[in-house]
Every structure is written in C-alpha cells, then in structure tokens.
Chain A
Amino acid sequence: MRGIYIHIPFCAKRCTYCSFVSGMPHEKMHLYVDALKREMDERPIKGEDISTIYIGGGTPSVLYRGAISDILSHIFEKCAVGADAEITVECNPDSVTEDFVSEIISAKVNRVSIGLQTDNDDLLKKINRPHDKAGFLRAWKLLEKIPNKSLDLMLGLPGQNEADLLSSLELAVSLNAPHISLYALKVEEGTPLYESGFAADDDLEADFYDSAYRFLISRGYDRYEVSNFCKDGMYSRHNSAYWDLTEYYGFGISAHSLLDGKRLANDDNIDKYILGNCERFVEKSDAAEEYIMLALRTAKGIDLDRLNGYGVDLMTAKGKEITEYIRQGFMIKEGKNLRLNDNAFYIMNDIICNLI
C-alpha cells in the first residue's frame, strides 16, 4: 500500500510567510494538469494499491473546474484505489464554491483541509490571506456533506495574542471540527515576512502552544502528533503515513516521493515540468534516522522492534541518553515502545539530535 501526493503550485494570493513552491501564473493551470497526468503515465504506478491521496499546495481549490476530477480519475484508471481510501483536498475558504464542492464530491474526495489560520480578520489581512471569517463560515457550511474536515490554524502570527488564538480554537471546537492542525509560524528567509524584520518569539509561542494544548485536550481532542489534534480517531491517514515511513509517490513540481526506500525530489521549475522534462533527484535517506525523527513527533512514538528492522538497536546505541531522558521525565518507555512525555513535545529537537 502506498500513498500519492499531488502538488498544486497555484494560489489566489501569496501569504507573507509562505516559502513553498506556489503562486505560479494561473494561465499555466491547464498545461500543468496535463503535465501531472503525463508524469503519472511515465512513472510506474500501474496497478499500485493506493490507500491515501492528498492534493495539496499551494491552493488546489483555485484550480479550474474539472481539474481535480481529471487528476483523480487519471489515478483511478491506473491504480487500485480502495473504496475506503482517504482522499484529501486542501482548500482556502475564498475558493470554496458550490461547484467546487459538488465536483470534489463526485470525484470521490472524502476529506478536506481548510486553511483558516486565524478567525481574526485583521490578522488575516496582515498575512495577506484572501478570506475573512465570514467567508470561512460560508465555506464550512458549503462543505457540510464532507464530514471529515481538518481546520488549519497558526500560532505566533505577527500581532496575534493568546486571546486571538483561543478564539480561533473555540470556533473550531464549536464547529465540531474532527481534526485541527496547529502550526507555529516559521519565519523563513526570503519571505516578505522575513524581509519585514519580524522575529518569532519562542517563549511566547511556547506559551500559546501550552494554552492551546490544554484547551484542546479539555475539549476531548487527542494530540496524535505535535501539531495535529483530532477527535474520535479522525486522524489524517495520509500524513500519518509520512510519519510511519509508508511509501508514497509525489507528483508535480517540488513534490517528494519515497519509493523502495529511496527519497526522490522533483525539480521546482514549472516551465520545464510542463515541457515534460522534469528532473528528479535522489536525496540522501536513512530509514532509521527518519523513523526516529518522525515517530517521536507522534503520540505513538517509536516501536523499537521496528527500528531494529532498520538496523538500529537504539537501546544499545543510545541507552545512556535514553535512560537519562527517562530519569529527567522527558521520555517514557513501555516495553518496546519509546515516546516523548507531554512536556517534551515542544523541545524535541535536542532529544532527536542526541538519538540520531
């Protein structure tokens, strides 16, 4: 079983913090969708068992009508996509229309991830999001036939205070969102936000995160990954697969794949891609290190037997460090399971560095 990721590098507007490959000229959409299908034809996906599909970006909802059905039916033709497969499309509230919703429902999309980021209109404007709170509520209503929804929120936005954050979370909870992802703003070099001189305040973000965590737990959500919360087991199967080293194809510019233990990265030049000469690079990979780094992000943690299968006996290699972390209360070990304690999730890099 493998997953498929499709990258859609188009947006209505570019957010000030965005460092992803996005914001390509809209006139290239048709050619790009054709090129996506060609890439699928060229790569050996025929007959592949597919358990999750994720169309992300960018903003897939800005695509012309018919694009998403076109892409998905191309996959259905070639691969064995089970009836229970999770098929997610990312969308922005402003481009969620009635037509869009009926298209994706008929294209068998059964999960949407909606980028709200915050429900404070001033903050939304400041980060150059194209929607407002009212627009989001309208989109949410339009999407009511797809119950499996994720709400994306951010913490640490310029000017955001704790009350803003809790108000957004309150809204998510009141809408009974089954899944909430809560990412800290990262100021990446080269973004307008970086150029503006804004610097993240780690202590403030940590305070926000602690409050958000307590709030969501008190409202019945589970933190199944450091930045992802869900109710009633409605976790993202596609993203969980990444953290579990399940293999996946990535199509489109800058998309990554994990196939037969190899990590591949597509080039990010859209013109070359459209012309059909997309370069694909092999990236350095090390299953054991990646598993430690990714599994520790999850509530489940590391299965030491599985890690053994990747050739690393962690308790032998890093027994001293782990014992010390357990003594300090940062880690928990139960049988063959090793995971972070609640207090260590937001400071896990140091631990990971010491274990890989």
Chain B
Amino acid sequence: MNRLDKIRNFCIIAHIDHGKSTLADRLMEQTGTVALRDMTDQLLDSMDIERERGITIKLTPVRMKYSRGGVDYELNLIDTPGHVDFNYEVSRSLAACEGALLVVDATQGVEAQTLANVYLAIDNDLTVLPVINKIDLPSSDPEAVKKEIEEVIGLDAEEAPLISAKDGININEVLEKIVDFFPSPRGEENAPLKALIFDSYYDNYKGAVCLVRIKDGKVKIGDKIKMMATSMTYDVTEVGIFTPKPTPIDVLSVGDVGYICASIKNVSETAPGDTITFADDPCLEPCPGYKKVLPVVYCGIFPADGSKYNDLRDALERLKLNDAALFFEQENSAALGFGFRCGFLGLLHMEIIEERLEREFDLDLITTAPSVNYKVYKTNGEVVTVTNPSNLPSVQETDHIEEPIVAADIYTPPEYIGAIMELCQEKRGEYKDMVYLDKTRVRLHYIIPLNEIVYDFFDSLKSRSRGYASLDYEIKGYRESDLVKLDILLNNEICDALSIIVHRDKAYARGRALAEKLKDVIPRQMFEIPIQASIGNKVIARETVKALRKDVLAKCYGGDISRKKKLLEKQKEGKKRMRQVGTVQVPSEAFMSVLKLDDK
C-alpha cells in the first residue's frame, strides 16, 4: 500500500443543528485524537460566538489516526461553515477534499442549506456519503429520511450509517465507511509544489498561517514559495498539521492537509483559493476556482463614543487579519463623525463582525441601515456604484438606477405558504415557482431585490413561519428599479446617517415608520424638534418632539454643592452618548432603533 492510499480527506456537510460539530467531536474521540478529558463540546468551533450560536465560521481542519487491519490511516477532517454567507469558504474547503459526509437529521430530513452545499460538493467531484443522525430521538424516521435523500438529492442512501452523534452510537461504522467509501487523494510527489490555500488565519507570532491541501509535490522549512495569484514570494518558516492543535512536522507531502507559515504579514496576501508553488520551480497551472470574494452587503459602523475611532480602526484591522472577506474604508458622516463603511459577504457575516467588535474589543457601536451595491446610470453616460445612500447622485443627474436581485429558495412547511407569499410580495418578490418536496415541505422560488432581504426579511420570515422556514439565496444580477433616497430631517437638517435607498412604493410607509420611531427615541430638548421624512424636497411624513419643559436641579442650598454637581456630571456623561445632528442631540440608540422597524 503506498502512502496516498492511507490518506482520506473529507468534510462534513450539515444543516445548522443537524449535529455536524457533535459528529466531529465523536470522530476525534473515537480515534483518540483528543483525550476525553480535553473534550469541550464542539471542539473545532474555536470562537465563543460559534459555540453559542451553534454555527461554524472559521474552518479548523484536524488530522486523525485510524487503525484497521494493521493499517494506520490518516483521516483529515476539514470542517465547513454551514451558512449561505460563507458559500465561497465552503467551496474552497470542498476543493481540498475527496469525500463529504452528509449529515441529515433523522427527525427533520433534508434542509435548504444542505442541498446547496451537497450540490457544491457534487460539482467539486466529491464522493458524498449520507449519514443519518439523531436516531436516538423518538420522533426519528430514518427510513423516510433515506427515501427523501434518494428522491430529493438523488444519492444512494442504502449504505448510510444510522448514528447518534450525541450518544456515540455507530460512530465506528462512519470511520469504516470513510476508509472504504472515499477515494484516496491523487497527485505527484515528485512534481513541483502545488498547494491549495483553503483558509488562513493570523497568528501573533507566526504571521498569516495558510491552511493548505498539498495537490502535488512537498514542502518543508526553508523552501522559497510563491503565491500564484499575487506572485509574491516568501521563505517557509514552519509546516505542520492540526491535531487539532497546530503541530509542526518536517515535511508536508502530496495528499496532506496542513499549514504553512512564511512570515506573511497579512491574511490578505494569502487569498483563499490561491495556489502556493515554488518560486524557482513553479507548477504549470494553479488549482482551479480561485476568485476574489466581493462584499454584497454594506453598512456604516461608527464608535458610539466618537473618541474611540482609533480603537475601532485597530479592531477592524485585527479582524481583517483573520477575515479576508471583510472590507472597510473610512467614512465621514455629518451626524456620526468618523467611522467606517464596511462590506460583508452577507447579513450573518455582518452580524458576526458587529458582535465580535463589541464583545472581543469592548466597543460600543452605532451601525447604519444595511445597504447593497447600486448601479447608477447617470445622464452623462457615467455608471457609478453606490453603497452609501449619502453618495447617491441627485435625481437630476440620474438616468436610472439598477439594484442587485437574488434568486431565493424558501423552504417551508405547507401551512405557512400563504404568510410567506404575502411577505415575498411585500418585499417586491417576483414569484417563479413552487415545488412540493414531500408532504411536509415546500420550496418557493422567488426573485427578490437584495435590498429587501438585507432589511428585515430573515426576521419576518422566521416570525411568520414560527421559525420553520429557511432561506437560501444567490445573487442573480441587476435589475432596473424605481429607487429613491429617503432622507430624515431633524429640525430641518438632513441626518445623513439615517438616509436609506428604498423603492418608491415603500418610501411612504417606511418614512412614516421611521419618523414615528424617532419621535419615541429622541429625548425632548430645549426647543420643539420637527422630524420629517422626505424624498427630494417633498416631505412625506412628519412628527414632532415637544420642547423640554423642566430640567433644573432642585434646591441648591444647605451648602451641599457636590451632590448637585454629581447629578450634572451624570447628565453631561449621558450627553456624550448623544450625537449632534445640526442643533439636535440624537442618542446613539436612535440610530440602532430604526434598523428594526415593524412594517405592520
């Protein structure tokens, strides 16, 4: 048996909650990769947020030893994120594998995101092995799920191991099938180095660490390497594998999954999908499929306390070290001061970044309404891309505007079809078709503008389907649309941070809702404050914050001045969290509160 025959590289595809991380834990336990005493739940999800939300954001590969019939196999598990926002990450990790375990919940059946990723795996020529999990649950129906896998996906499910990752049932069968079912990697050991980067992260001591799958050749310390997309060259300082802790070894060879360090300053130089080869003896062709990831959702992020601008910049730079998909550039808002316009792969990505900034860097943030990339065709023939409503050219300069649209697949139990169709209609969705996947599940297919999805679509979808419906979408290009810029005026001055780009038909309702909400969150001040929503010069909604009547310290005698002064200092402290918009003080919370308006 040659070396490659003993290697299996595989990943796990599963819907959120279907038990992927738990299965990974069991595999590591069963192979003795991690001693039981070191097990914490979901070992591969290294970030707190991942464990709390039960989702995987970063990929953490692990090498496991599995012995059978006197042969020591090397099983490399590459964990994958389960969310649509991270589709590209998934495709990269799939490209590093030959096999994929498809974990399906025996009580739930096949879910939307599972489908998307299974097709991605099949497109990447992976061998897919279904695994039916949670057979310990009384409501599980493995036979029905098997049938569904065969009918919906078209995979043979007869061989599927029936397991319970939670209770450790039949884990060994999974290990056996990994060896028997998945092909071993192929490649030339003596060819020039060809290593696919499927992820990278930043380490304070080692610099950017490239997670690679060696497709051809081998690499060791001291080799001079080159990134094929950028032609930048580096000297290798360390190679190693994940056990799951990074562990240096002498050589990484064809078929291996491991890491390469080369004193690389920044993860943006280690673009996922790129190919590493030797600087002096390069391979002929890079690995296929490399693309630059572009953000699709944007928002402004500002420090709640303006003096924390530098802290925010440092924090974003730190996150960027580990997240090549995060985009940011300085933004200067009249209302919010200095901050950043940030671009994300999707809404979840945006939420995760915001949460990490607040949690790991202890920052209070103000974020503005999410926006997308609009294409503005100007009357002078120019086409500009706008992600920030404040930069939208004037109506006079604009010939027409195009917005990104997505093809959305919504999976739902049939009883919510009506409510969901109504929602899609409200969101300017264009109905395409509807397919009964089985008696209990329907797939609705819609074309929907992305700007409706980024607003509050997920929340509405969940609330109208009691949490049952799920959404999968992909960008389908651009479409001309009657879009307008909706401005909010506070005391007759535009507050740029509250401007949004919205379809004309929805502008009135949104304007009214915004004005009403702001009336509740802006505190009374020394003068009456008109709040107006307007399109161009036309006011479409108006509310008023009444003038403050009483704001004065009680008795200032008896000589106790300090107590009174403390009250004023507290009040002054509170004002620090306010933003000056023209003459109006707007609390930071006001900017956030308008992000989630109930449309009803």
Contacts and interface: CB of A to CB of B under 8 A. Distances in A.
Given A330-B526, A346-B549, A353-B571, A265 B560 contact: yes
A324 B550 contact: no
B462 interface: no
Q: Which of A207, A254, A349 counts the most B-chain CB atoms under 10 A from its CB?
A: A349
Nearest to B585: A350
Given A330-B526, A347-B550, A283 B562 contact: yes
B558 A256 contact: yes
A215 interface: no
Nearest to A3: B559
Given A293-B564, A328-B527, A349 B558 contact: no
Contacts of A345: 552
A356 B569 CA distance: 9
B284 interface: no
A347 B526 contact: yes
A309 to B, nearest CB: 18
A242 B558 CA distance: 8
Secondary structure at the B interface, as helix, strand, loop or mixed, is loop
A203 B549 contact: yes
A255 B559 contact: yes
Nearest to A324: B583
B383 interface: no
A283 B569 CA distance: 14
B559 A294 contact: no
Contact of B568 (A207, A256, A352): A352
Contacts, number: 100
A256 B552 CA distance: 22
Interface residues of A, number: 50
A63 interface: no
B490 to A, nearest CB: 16
B561 A294 contact: yes
A229 interface: no
Contacts of B565: 289-290, 293
Contacts of B551: 202, 346-350
A263 interface: yes
A263 B571 contact: no
A206 B558 CA distance: 24
A206 to B, nearest CB: 3
A235 interface: no
Contacts of A5: 558-559
Q: Which of B525, B555, B583 counts the most A-chain CB atoms under 10 A from its CB?
A: B555
B554 interface: yes
A165 B548 CA distance: 22
- Please classify how large the interface on chain B is, using the bins under 10, 10 to 19, 20 to 34, 35 or more: 20 to 34
A284 B572 CA distance: 17
Contacts of B564: 293
B552 A348 contact: yes
Interface string A1-35: 00001010000000000001000000000000000
Contact of A186 (B526, B554, B558, B560): B554
Contacts of A230: none
Q: Which of A263, A347, A354 counts the most B-chain CB atoms under 10 A from its CB?
A: A347
A114 interface: no
Nearest to A263: B562
A206 B550 contact: yes
A186 B563 CA distance: 14
Contacts of B526: 328, 330, 344, 347, 350-351
A297 B561 contact: no
A206 B549 contact: yes
Nearest to A250: B559
B556 interface: yes
Given A297-B556, A328-B527, A346 B562 contact: no
Contacts of B476: none
Nearest to A294: B556
B554 A184 contact: yes
Contacts of B552: 184, 226, 345-349
A283 B561 CA distance: 10
A243 interface: yes
A347 B547 CA distance: 10
B483 to A, nearest CB: 37
Interface of B: 525-527, 548-562, 564-565, 568, 571-572, 575, 583
Interface of A: 5, 7, 20, 56, 183-184, 186, 202-203, 205-207, 209, 226-227, 239, 242-243, 248, 250, 254-258, 263, 265, 283-285, 289-290, 293-294, 297, 324, 328, 330, 344-354, 356
9 contacts: A203-B550, A242-B559, A284-B562, A285-B562, A289-B565, A346-B552, A349-B553, A350-B548, A354-B575
